């Protein structure tokens, strides 16, 4: 199994930045894709961004484009989500997910492994 642990969440003022990290308990193969999702109270979980561990192919939700950047460091077994220009509507629990041999995907059903989430709160 692949265990994922998110960190880097917290409380930030609107317009500020946070960088989330997702650390895997074992080595990611180059074919593993990592995605970021988020869920606000009373809302459905939604896609944020995804990246393949084999290269730099990425995809973003429309709400993330221009503000968020997904990246990775395979030597550290870590994926990142850099979030800039944060808005109160970005407040949610953020989850990372992983799946082998998968293109960057916005569909949560396509990911097998999930972290427990990290809380991001953006104040106005």
CA–CA separation, 58 and 75 (whole Å):
19
User: What are the angstrom distances between the C-alpha of 46 and each of 6, 7, 37?
Assistant: 17, 19, 6
How many residues are present in the chain? 124
pLDDT at 102: 82
CA–CA separation, 83 and 61 (whole Å):
13
12-36 residue pLDDT tens: 999 999 999 999 887 656 578 999 9
pLDDT at 115: 96
pLDDT at 99: 92
pLDDT at 38: 98
CA–CA separation, 14 and 87 (whole Å):
5
pLDDT at 103: 86
CA–CA separation, 100 and 18 (whole Å):
27
Nearest to 94 by CA among 67, 116, 62: 116
pLDDT at 61: 96
pLDDT at 30: 58
pLDDT at 1: 76
Residue ranges for the chain with pLDDT beneath 70: 27-30, 54-55
């Amino acid at each position: 199994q692949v265990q994922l642990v998110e960190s880097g969440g917290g409380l930030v003022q609107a317009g500020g930045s946070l960088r989330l990290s997702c650390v895997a308990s074992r080595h990611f193969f180059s074919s593993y894709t990592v995605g970021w999702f988020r869920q606000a109270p009373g809302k459905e979980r939604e896609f944020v961004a995804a990246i393949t561990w084999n290269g730099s192919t990425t995809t973003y939700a429309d709400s993330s484009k221009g503000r968020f950047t997904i990246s990775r460091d395979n030597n550290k077994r870590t994926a990142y989500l850099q979030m800039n220009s944060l808005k109160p509507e970005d407040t949610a629990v953020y989850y990372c997910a992983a799946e082998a041999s998968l293109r960057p995907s916005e569909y949560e059903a396509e990911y097998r492994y999930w972290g427990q989430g990290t809380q991001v709160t953006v104040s106005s």
